[in-house]
Amino acid sequence: MTVFHALVLNLHQPSGNLEELLTNNEWEAKEILYALDRIPRSLWAYEDVARVHLSLSGTLLETLSNPGFQERVYGIVKCGELLWHFQNRRLFQILGTGYYHPVLPLTPPADWDEQLGRWKGIASHLFWRTDFPGFWPPEMSFSMELIPVLKRLGYRYVLVDSEHIEPVTPMRWEEVRYRPHIARHAGEEIIVIVRDRELSYAQESGMDHGWFMYEVHERAKQCDFPPLVTTCTDGDNGGWFRNSSGSGNFWGVMYQPLLERVRRNETEVRPTFIEDYLNEHGVHGEVRVRTAAWNTGWHSGIGFTQWTGSQAQKDALKRVAETSQALHERLERAGPPGEHNGEARRRLSEAQWRLLRAETSCNFFWGEAWLARCHKDLDDAWSFINT
């Protein structure tokens, strides 16, 4: 039986982070850039069998497409060519996400449209398309309230973590994990693609293709349907992806050898785009998705402990919500853009992008280490709001 495999890689760097690393920790910046550049280079010879989904945050796209940054890293990576290679639809399917990589359930819903809409703006420009059928929630942080927003923006499916799936339709364990489902909220529905948490953890930590093929076989052997096994991890973080040696990274140890076995028809695993699988095999059953995120180190994602574990983190999120409410009240008061309110709208626009950047997940992920970045952007936002 064929087992379909959807590989998903999340690529994100906070605003200004690569520039700062180039100044203060040049080798780490090079490791990240090499890891990004290695993705298409590892796949050029496998257009017939390789299938990879990529989520690139808006801030990473902004950095890679910035002429000043491109000039600065020339000789390390050619960013323009990298973005061009990511347009190869035979190898890559680009997933939608949030511009500033926010934890959406912790972000004021009034800001969801801007976070998601701004990403579609820059991605449509850089990738020469408007069709992005799948959505990657930053940190896989999902709540059912997002469904109407995602449908309004044209998304067909969303990726969620296996630990947070609650079947509405009775189904077996392997059906929950390895079939797409429907989730409904407020009169709208979306397809849910389930990430296998354990296999994804192995993908993040390091595995070879033989172990992966065996594990997939054992997990899917009871399926009486074409299973879709989905693995999702970061693609530019950790030594497994940053290691420049082909004998010590994901591409040389796991994915390229797997593709060789696929070519020789020596494995039941077949890489696929999620969109192609849906078109051929459809969906099965209804589920609910618990509000939570993916696993981060020693945290399960339930309760968003990684981002809300201290009082200082909670206070910063409360201030984000207060700033968002004040901004939207003033935007409503200002009315639609026109000659009579041009300056007011300009100042509110300056406040808005700083608010959105303050919502970046990394500001809260590292405990209290990056909270000052959040507060700095909120301070600047208030300076524009108040004038």
* pLDDT one-digit tens code per residue, 213-244: 999 999 999 999 999 999 999 999 999 999 99
Question: What integer pLDDT is reported at residue 297 of this predicted model?
Answer: 79
For the chain, helix (H) and strand (E) counts, in that order, are 19, 11
Question: What integer pLDDT is reported at residue 265 of this predicted model?
Answer: 97
Question: What integer pLDDT is reported at residue 341 of this predicted model?
Answer: 85
The percent of residues above 90 in pLDDT, for the chain, comes to: 96
Question: What integer pLDDT is reported at residue 77 of this predicted model?
Answer: 97
* pLDDT one-digit tens code per residue, 111-144: 999 999 999 999 999 999 999 999 999 999 999 9
- H/E run at residue 8: strand 3-11
The larger pLDDT score, comparing residue 170 to residue 338, is at 170
Least confident of 60-69, 185-194, 294-303: 294-303
* Chain position carrying tokens 């630990």: 163
Q: What is the mean pLDDT of residues 173-183?
A: 98
Q: What is the mean pLDDT of residues 308-321?
A: 97
3-state percent helix, strand, coil for the chain, nearest multiple of 5? 55, 15, 30
Q: What is the mean pLDDT of residues 187-203?
A: 97
Distances 161 to 2, 138, 188, 226 between C-alpha atoms, Å: 23, 12, 20, 20
Question: What integer pLDDT is reported at residue 13 of this predicted model?
Answer: 97
The yes-or-no verdict on residue 42 having pLDDT over 80 is yes
Question: What integer pLDDT is reported at residue 298 of this predicted model?
Answer: 83
The larger pLDDT score, comparing residue 27 to residue 341, is at 27
340 — pLDDT class (breaks 50, 70, 90) = confident
Question: What integer pLDDT is reported at residue 249 of this predicted model?
Answer: 96
Q: Are 120 and 132 spatial neighbours (Cβ–Cβ below 8 Å)?
A: yes
Q: What is the mean pLDDT of residues 74-92?
A: 97
Q: Are 382 and 327 spatial neighbours (Cβ–Cβ below 8 Å)?
A: no
* pLDDT one-digit tens code per residue, 241-279: 999 998 999 999 999 999 999 999 999 999 999 999 999
Q: What is the mean pLDDT of residues 305-309?
A: 96
Q: Are 63 and 49 spatial neighbours (Cβ–Cβ below 8 Å)?
A: no
Cα separation, 283 vs 249, whole angstroms: 34
Question: What integer pLDDT is reported at residue 164 of this predicted model?
Answer: 97
90 — pLDDT class (breaks 50, 70, 90) = very high
Angle at Cα 45 formed by Cα 92 and Cα 198, nearest 5°?
55
* pLDDT one-digit tens code per residue, 344-373: 999 999 999 999 999 999 999 999 999 999
Q: What is the mean pLDDT of the chain?
A: 97
